[in-house]
Chain A
């Protein structure tokens, strides 16, 4: 079980990237995605790769951490690259075997799609490694606040904060339940499919009941402390825009102009 599923993604540090305003980081991440998808020539990719590697350097986090972040996506990357390599029928055929055709265009497309995957994963990983989840939630609430009239922005942000806070607790609860059941003879790693399905039920039912009990207790406690909804509340955690955020914004705008212009 991953006890640090949410908490563990964030790596504490005091780098320039860590100290940027999370709202800027979120918007910048989205804009980087757009740039990566807009990129069409090799020079675009060289520039974007250089910039993202520069950001990785600035974050003071080892490149190995970012490369390990590729692992969950490995199967998808390989699948897509292979799809590009052997099923693109434009361009000169280099090699073929039945319906499989390796072409020059397929080769170029495969390299491009691979670069896209890696760059997108890296830019996403930079944000999650250098920003605490609760801070990202604050940023999301702030960025979505113009939609407050039509969407329950505060309530969803609250929901997200509570969920992130309780994932480690419920994860721990899951481990506890599993250990308890093991102590009473349940084996989670043996038997056929039906046995394994049966073994998971003693985990799920107590887990759901425990979650509902905690939810009820928490709701009562919140109301007892005077929570009545989003109106009329102040904020303890404040996000502050700094000069370095302005500087980073200018650099980002410059990069966008450069990519579009080339």
Chain B
């Protein structure tokens, strides 16, 4: 990998950290742009690069850098029922990146693939988490209602947002293709 590629990855990591702090203040569930940034990283980079950025992000967040949503961070995130979503980011970004490279013109398909992975892993992790905590399993449907259903509208919006922003970036004077 060249210097330019790594500098691009550095700035994408910085953008991810910043987007995690940006929220769209809606009354009920605040929507952060964290997963939007993951989608953008998947679209802009190659699979290996996406993996490096997202693993580094999750890793430094666990070490205590305040880079997760709301300025949180630290190993206690591992004890969180929603850690599955963070854990899925490397896989999510690699999936989007791979799909996008194989089918450059099917942007929606790539993004949907990533979102599906994100929500599925969050869903399964939540089930495992509640099982571990209480000693008995929770049903698929209950976990689905807690971890997937409330996030579908927000993820849909971020999916559209990523699609829109990516298309616009393609027409800017200097794009990620220059690296």
Contacts and interface: CB of A to CB of B under 8 A. Distances in A.
A2 B17 contact: no
Contacts of B104: none
B176 A133 contact: no
Interface string B132-147: 0111100000000000
B6 A124 contact: no
Interface residues of A, number: 71
Q: Is the interface of B mostly helix, strand, loop or mixed?
A: helix
Contact of A174 (B8, B18, B76, B175): B18
B60 A170 contact: no
A161 B14 CA distance: 10
B149 interface: no
A136 B63 contact: yes
Size range of the interface on B? 35 or more
Interface stretch (A11-19, A49-57, A216-224, A234-242): A216-224
A259 interface: no
A87 B25 contact: no
Contacts of A197: 24, 157, 160-161
Interface in A177-224: 189, 193, 196-197, 200-201, 203-205, 207-209, 211-216, 218-219, 222-223
Interface of A: 1-2, 5-6, 9, 26, 29, 33, 72-73, 76, 79-80, 83-84, 87-90, 113, 116-117, 120-121, 124-125, 127-128, 133, 136, 140, 152, 155-156, 158-164, 166-167, 170-171, 174, 189, 193, 196-197, 200-201, 203-205, 207-209, 211-216, 218-219, 222-223, 227-229
The 7 A-B pairs at the shortest CB distance, nearest first, are namely A124-B74, A162-B10, A72-B72, A163-B13, A215-B11, A219-B4, A219-B7
